[in-house]
């Protein structure tokens, strides 16, 4: 499937972005480990999250799924408790989802049976030693295929460890903490920077003894059952990033995005955009599931360049393709450093972002750990490629709204990995986007 995007003369309206992807994965896994029934609204029915849902069903968890519309679903998860998962009859398919594979590896490391985790071609290229190594240190047998999927895990009899993560990663941290639920003794994770903390927030809400002090997290194995969850999942900041940047760049736009998760471990892009002098107002601040929520109102205005490096990188790790698009319209040179992790995402996001935006006339220079964008540039339409990466596909679609002439994003089905309803959302804001 491809999408064709015409230049836009202004976006306007109010939208609700779909539920947070990271939280949607976690609620399925963690309510499965609770004693009792969890009821979850606004769950994200995206490809990646369905991979998690299917895997948990294969592990013997009963889950009712009710689609509300293209972007929202309700779930009822009948928790089996910490020791109620069943050995799977076949390998667990994680499709293209790194979060499914890495977080499930943590849970499976605690189970007294053998299981295999596999995925599609793109996921099979991604590094897994980052989870295998700490889980092995805890006592699990984890076999990788030269450091990559498939993974075969034989768990049980874990001991807590004190682990200093070489990279700041929400997935690695979560895998260790989830394994820590099954370990004897305390598990300590020390992170080099503040990676997303949804697992910690959720474990706390479920009554697990977990304490975070700065970048150190300590989990004591729970002596009581994990409590079920009853909540609506907050809107995904990483999905909101696309209409947010579109509103800032398409001349004459004003867009309201409602109910967005403003967890500071996720909103690095907002800080960068504000430093670029973006006109974004934050209104109606509330809380849901221990996560801060707000509405964002964005309108078009001139941007200046920014420098992104250090700890900020991990707090906006999924937002670099869309930041690059914003930077093509900013006056000056925007520089991204300390972001070599981008080369290990759904695709090499440094290489692919530079390659595709150059096709549209943008001036980008790659670096081993980032890139530079020289702006402002008037973009031109053309045929561009998603490289099988949902976030790159959506960033290119936003670029298409600004470009002269028609832009075609090829291999755009992948958008549904994280944002089903993306095209409907853009159309609702007044954009001309056609699926074919
Ligand atoms: C995620 C963590 C990040 C992010 C991914 C989701 C999570 O990955 O890129 O989209 O849900 O924990 P890393 O942990 O590899 O940085």
Work out which ligand 1 atom sits closest to the CA atom of 314: 16
* 334-361: pLDDT as tens digits: 999 999 999 999 999 999 999 999 999 9
Q: 3-state DSSP: the chain helix, strand, coil percent, rounded to 5?
A: 35, 30, 35
For residues 170 and 196, is the Cβ–Cβ distance under 8 A? yes
From 22, 201, 266, the mutation candidate for ligand 1 (largest count of ligand atoms within 8 A of CB) is: 22
Handedness of CA 124, 130, 135, 137 (dihedral sign): positive
**Strand partners of residue 76:** 39, 64
Work out which ligand 1 atom sits closest to the CA atom of 25: 11
CA of 12 to the centre of ligand 1 (A): 31
Q: Whose CA is nearest to atom 16 of ligand 1?
A: 169
Region 21-232: CATH code: 3.65.10.10
Work out which ligand 1 atom sits closest to the CA atom of 345: 9
The finding on whether 196 has its CB within 6 A of some atom of ligand 1 is yes
CA of 153 to the centre of ligand 1 (A): 21
Work out which ligand 1 atom sits closest to the CA atom of 172: 14
The finding on whether 169 has its CB within 6 A of some atom of ligand 1 is yes
- DSSP letter for each residue of 170-229: HHHHHHHHHHHTTEES-EEEE-SS----HHHHHHHHTT--EEEETTEEEEPPPSSPBPP-
Per-residue pLDDT 10s for the chain (436 aa) are 999 999 999 999 999 999 999 999 999 999 999 999 999 999 999 999 999 999 999 999 999 999 999 999 999 999 999 999 999 999 999 999 999 999 999 999 999 999 999 999 999 999 999 999 999 999 999 999 999 999 999 998 999 999 999 999 999 999 999 999 999 999 999 999 999 999 999 999 999 999 999 999 999 999 999 999 999 999 999 999 999 999 999 999 999 999 999 999 999 999 999 999 999 999 999 999 889 999 999 999 999 999 999 999 999 999 999 999 999 999 999 999 999 999 999 999 999 999 999 999 999 999 999 999 999 999 999 999 999 999 999 999 999 999 999 999 999 999 999 999 999 999 999 999 999 9
Residue 55 in tokens = 């895997």
For residues 339 and 370, is the Cβ–Cβ distance under 8 A? yes
From 99, 263, 311, the mutation candidate for ligand 1 (largest count of ligand atoms within 8 A of CB) is: 99
- Catalytic residue IDs: 318
Strand segments, DSSP code E, in 318-431 are: 330-336, 363-367, 370-375, 383-385, 407-410
Topology match between the domains 3-18+234-435 and 21-232: yes
Residue 90 in tokens = 């076949």
Region 3-18+234-435: CATH code: 3.65.10.10
Query: Residue ranges of the domains in the chain?
Result: 3-18+234-435, 21-232
Element (H, E) at 322: helix 320-328
Q: Whose CA is nearest to atom 3 of ligand 1?
A: 170
Flag whether the pTM goes above 0.85. Answer: yes
Q: Is 264 helix (H, G, I), strand (E, B) or coil?
A: coil
The finding on whether 238 has its CB within 6 A of some atom of ligand 1 is no
């Amino acid at each position: 499937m491809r999408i064709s995007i015409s230049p836009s003369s202004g976006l306007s309206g109010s939208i609700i972005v779909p539920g947070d992807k990271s939280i949607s994965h976690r609620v399925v896994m963690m309510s499965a480990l609770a004693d009792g029934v969890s009821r979850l609204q606004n769950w994200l029915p995206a490809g990646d999250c369905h991979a998690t849902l299917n895997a948990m069903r294969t592990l013997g968890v009963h889950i009712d799924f009710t689609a509300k519309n293209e972007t929202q679903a309700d779930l009822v998860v009948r928790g089996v408790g910490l020791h109620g998962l069943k050995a799977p009859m076949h390998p667990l398919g994680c499709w293209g989802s790194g979060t499914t594979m890495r977080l499930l590896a943590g849970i499976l490391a605690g189970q007294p049976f053998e299981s295999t985790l596999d995925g599609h071609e793109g996921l099979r290229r991604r590094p897994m030693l980052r989870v295998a190594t700490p889980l092995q240190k805890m006592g699990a047998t984890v076999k990788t295929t030269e450091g990559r999927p498939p993974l075969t895990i034989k768990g049980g009899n874990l001991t807590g460890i004190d682990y200093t993560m070489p990279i700041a990663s929400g997935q690695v941290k979560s895998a260790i903490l989830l394994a820590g639920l099954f370990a004897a003794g305390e598990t300590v994770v020390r992170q080099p920077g503040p990676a997303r903390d949804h697992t910690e927030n959720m474990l706390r809400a479920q009554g697990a003894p977990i304490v975070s002090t700065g970048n150190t997290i300590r989990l004591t194995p729970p002596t009581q059952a994990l409590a079920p969850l009853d909540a609506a999942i907050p809107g995904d900041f990483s999905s909101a990033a696309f209409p947010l940047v579109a509103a800032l760049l398409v001349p004459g736009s004003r867009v309201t995005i409602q109910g967005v998760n403003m967890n500071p471990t996720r909103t690095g892009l907002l800080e960068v955009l504000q430093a670029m002098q973006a006109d974004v107002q934050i209104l109606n601040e509330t809380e849901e599931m221990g996560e801060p929520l707000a509405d964002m109102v964005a309108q078009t205005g001139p941007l200046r360049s920014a420098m992104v490096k250090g700890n900020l990188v991990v707090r906006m790790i999924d937002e670099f393709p869309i930041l690059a698009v914003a930077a093509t319209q900013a006056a000056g040179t925007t520089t991204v450093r300390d972001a070599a992790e981008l080369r290990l995402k759904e695709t090499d996001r440094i290489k692919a972002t530079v390659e595709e935006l150059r096709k549209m006339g943008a001036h980008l220079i790659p670096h081993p750990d980032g890139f530079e964008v020289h702006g402002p540039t008037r973009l031109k339409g053309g045929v561009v490629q998603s490289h099988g990466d949902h976030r790159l596909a959506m960033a290119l679609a936003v670029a298409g709204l600004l470009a002269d002439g028609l832009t075609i994003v090829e291999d755009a089905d992948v958008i549904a990995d994280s944002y089903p309803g993306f095209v409907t959302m853009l159309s609702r804001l007044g954009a001309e986007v056609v699926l074919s």
